[in-house]
Structure 1
Amino acid sequence: MTRPSRALIDLSALRHNYKLARSMHGGRALAVLKANAYGHGAVACAKALTDDADGFAVAFVAEAIELRTQGISNPILVLEGCFDQQDLDAAIAHDLWIVVHQDSQLTAIENTQTRPGALNVWLKVDSGMHRAGFEPDLVKAVYARLKACPGVGQITFMSHFACADEPDNKMTQNQIEVFDIATAGLPGDRSLANSGGILAWPKAHRDWARPGILLYGADPMPNRNHGLKAVMTLQSQVFAIRTLMPGQSLGYAATFTAEKSTRVGLVAIGYADGYPRTAPTGTPIAVDGQLTRTIGRISMDMLTIDLTDLPQAGIGSSVECWGPLVDINDVAQKAGTISYEPLCNLKRVPKIYI
């Protein structure tokens, strides 16, 4: 018998979200497919977007090569850049765009001979996040060194926001200003807007956007309606029923104790599948299209839900862990994390593309 847990990946919703992001931004957009497309399957998502996307972005070279070997010919930007000479050689061989954010990467390019204009370089400016990128006062000198390399063709300027999903945080405006000053007078495209930047910061809309989490329908600002559609629906089934009497506890560590007669459904999914173990009693979940809650601690292979007010539900009832009815942001918030983590942690569950 096949275990009933599965993840439905709605590729039409993915395309909808990409087109919405591109329309809102007004420029070109790289669909971010790092971390296996945030758990959705990078190859399948790339193939679904290949006719629409101006390009893709991944974290490291190996992720890009996987797409190339599967026939993806769109531009692919490597966000972390090259870690060593072997990476740089592979990037050249597979016609990848690369981010340069530190001196060792710049030096490697200077010491590499390749055909003229072979490298499309994105020069990353540290505008205030202080994680990766050249200091603003070094940008003009770095640009000059890149221009002196025969193998470097186009140079695009980029930076990354620390707080773009907080519309009232002044840090993003400060980062925009720092970036503009650092790159003033230098020719080349600009890229600032991640998902939050696309949705909340029109001043960050430049030549290229980099939509990530929003592609998958998880709004980085959950309390706002931006018209995104959930791409993943994580499903399972109720496979056992029992009733707790008042005073009886449930599951590991006995974290839930019934205050009244409670009808419990056992669901075939758990933290080994990627459902967050830290999700407490009260985390939203849907059964046969109706909302209810989890109760007790999440186990490795199963979780328990409250069916007391759903008398029609029984063995075989469909369960939505997250998707159109259950916002992944609500599940993540209850679990003390962000939507990125449970999506990226999806495993063992088969993906079915629709």
Structure 2
Amino acid sequence: MPAVQPLPAGTPDLAGGVLTIDLAALVANWRALAARLAPAACAGVVKADAYGCGAAEAGRALRAAGCTTFFVALPAEGRALRAAVPDAAIYVLNGLPQGAAETFATARLRPVIGDLGELAEWEAFVARTGWSEGAALHLDTGMNRLGLRPEEARALALRPRGQPPVSLVMSHFACADEKDHPMTARQIALFREVRALFPGVPASLANSAGVFLGPEAHFDLARPGYALYGGNPTPWTANPMRPVVRLDLRIIQARTVPPGETVGYGARWTAPATRRIAVVSAGYADGLLRAASARPGARVLGYAGGVACPLVGRISMDLAAFDVTDAPADAVQRGDTIALLSERFGVDDYAEAAGTIGYEVLTSLGRRYRRVHVGG
């Protein structure tokens, strides 16, 4: 992936950083997951603006690669995505808001129905209009978040008026990214039992981590999200996915800090000797999680001139500082950049330093960066 995409000649770069999204890597990740899943199908989860990577751009790239089914969280996300993938199935994970059936139909969105009230409203709409685009029925297998409980699903399957008008039955793993967690096997068994109540309807259970659990978790359709964007779906082993995002932060000042002096709010970092410090134009308002600079022992690394440069001091709203003493002097001048997210220090590395998950890192990346999509 190129370090920084240049602007047209003579155009100053006024953004505090450049977020580069490699659509070729995104497509390669989808194809790798699809190959592992076959003969089951592979969807694409593009909620939260494709985890911060741009839903329209990601959707177009995935559709061109052969992805025909997408998942978003909100109807507004689905309506925006529809323009990018006019012929794809789009499911809305957060269900059917009251009175929104007509809105869903206008944009050809499929609600993921998670309770009996939603189902009654959807069935009434289908009966009145003859709508046949489809919907998903969410079955709760232990997450206790959204979805019909098993006893509700059993009663639904036995009702006199027959099966609900759905094109998919689905559930969601709670602990698939924790190796050998006993809840995962329980969820697979319960989902197998409950989905059998709806014969002929395709079934979906696996998320990114679920793809790596083997065929017993795959069913008919998997719904990877995080892995598409380069996050590690198997934290207990090396990341099998290609990195998709790169973040280069613009240096706005380089300065010398004498020994014994401090950097940043709270005076939490003291220079042990004379150090060269580069201040970049990005902070927690841009998704540089403050916790990454506040946790004892946390180590965040940017790279300049091929050299690791640790973050020092607390991240503030619009600024952060890196110790660039060991980097080549000509690589850390005003206007140069420090790569924070890259092949060397990625999303999961930053998440570990911040005591969070890579999902939060990706979806927190701010709108003040210049976003560049390559490889599409």
TM-score strictly above 0.5: yes
RMSD: 2.0
Which moves more between the two structures, 315-324 or 100-109?
315-324
- Residue 320 of structure 2 corresponds to 303
- Residue 101 of structure 1 corresponds to 114
Asked whether the 8 Å contact 1:193–1:209 carries over to 2, the reply is yes
Would you say 1:137 and 2:154 are equivalent positions?
no
Asked whether the 8 Å contact 2:231–2:239 carries over to 1, the reply is no
- Residue 309 of structure 2 corresponds to 292
Distance (whole Å) between structure 2 residues aligned to residue 297 and residue 120 of structure 1 = 50
Asked whether the 8 Å contact 1:60–1:82 carries over to 2, the reply is no
Asked whether the 8 Å contact 1:269–1:303 carries over to 2, the reply is yes
Distance (whole Å) between structure 2 residues aligned to residue 336 and residue 201 of structure 1 = 29
Distance (whole Å) between structure 2 residues aligned to residue 89 and residue 3 of structure 1 = 41
Which moves more between the two structures, 140-149 or 24-33?
140-149
> Cα deviation per residue 1:245-296 (whole Å; 9 max; x = unaligned)?
2211111111101122222111222111111122126212211333221010
2:198 corresponds to which of 186, 190, 205: 186
Distance (whole Å) between structure 2 residues aligned to residue 96 and residue 147 of structure 1 = 25
Which moves more between the two structures, 269-278 or 281-290?
281-290
Asked whether the 8 Å contact 2:138–2:146 carries over to 1, the reply is yes
- Residue 238 of structure 1 corresponds to 251
Structure 2: stretches of 5+ with no match in the other structure? 1-11
Distance (whole Å) between structure 2 residues aligned to residue 203 and residue 286 of structure 1 = 42
- Residue 177 of structure 2 corresponds to 165
Structure 1: stretches of 5+ with no match in the other structure? none
- Residue 59 of structure 1 corresponds to 73
Structure 1 residues 210, 145: CA separation in 2 closer, same or farther (over 3 Å shift)? Answer: farther
Would you say 1:118 and 2:135 are equivalent positions?
no
- Residue 372 of structure 2 corresponds to 352
Where 2:278 maps in the other structure, the secondary structure is: strand
Query: Normalization by structure 2: what TM-score?
Result: 0.88
Where 2:292 maps in the other structure, the secondary structure is: coil
Distance (whole Å) between structure 2 residues aligned to residue 202 and residue 259 of structure 1 = 54
Of all paired residues, the percent bearing the same amino acid is 34
1:255 corresponds to which of 268, 278, 281: 268
Code of the residue aligned with 2:346 in structure 1: it is D
- Residue 203 of structure 1 corresponds to 216
Code of the residue aligned with 1:166 in structure 2: it is E
What displacement does 1:103 show? 1.3
Distance (whole Å) between structure 1 residues aligned to residue 305 and residue 155 of structure 2 = 61
Asked whether the 8 Å contact 1:28–1:54 carries over to 2, the reply is no
Asked whether the 8 Å contact 1:47–1:72 carries over to 2, the reply is no
Structure 1 residues 148, 184: CA separation in 2 closer, same or farther (over 3 Å shift)? Answer: closer
Would you say 1:225 and 2:241 are equivalent positions?
no
Asked whether the 8 Å contact 1:127–1:160 carries over to 2, the reply is yes
Asked whether the 8 Å contact 1:61–1:91 carries over to 2, the reply is yes
Code of the residue aligned with 1:184 in structure 2: it is A
Asked whether the 8 Å contact 1:199–1:226 carries over to 2, the reply is no
Structure 1 residues 214, 61: CA separation in 2 closer, same or farther (over 3 Å shift)? Answer: same
> Cα deviation per residue 1:220-241 (whole Å; 9 max; x = unaligned)?
3345234311111111232322
What displacement does 1:168 show? 1.9
Asked whether the 8 Å contact 1:136–1:182 carries over to 2, the reply is yes
Correspondences of 1:258-297 after superposition (within 5 Å): 258-280=271-293, 282-297=299-314
Distance (whole Å) between structure 2 residues aligned to residue 75 and residue 6 of structure 1 = 32
- Residue 354 of structure 2 corresponds to 335
- Residue 7 of structure 2 corresponds to none
Query: Normalization by structure 1: what TM-score?
Result: 0.93
Distance (whole Å) between structure 2 residues aligned to residue 247 and residue 167 of structure 1 = 45
> Cα deviation per residue 1:102-128 (whole Å; 9 max; x = unaligned)?
011011023224443514121111111
Which moves more between the two structures, 219-228 or 232-241?
219-228
Distance (whole Å) between structure 2 residues aligned to residue 214 and residue 121 of structure 1 = 25
Asked whether the 8 Å contact 2:63–2:85 carries over to 1, the reply is no
Where 1:120 maps in the other structure, the secondary structure is: coil
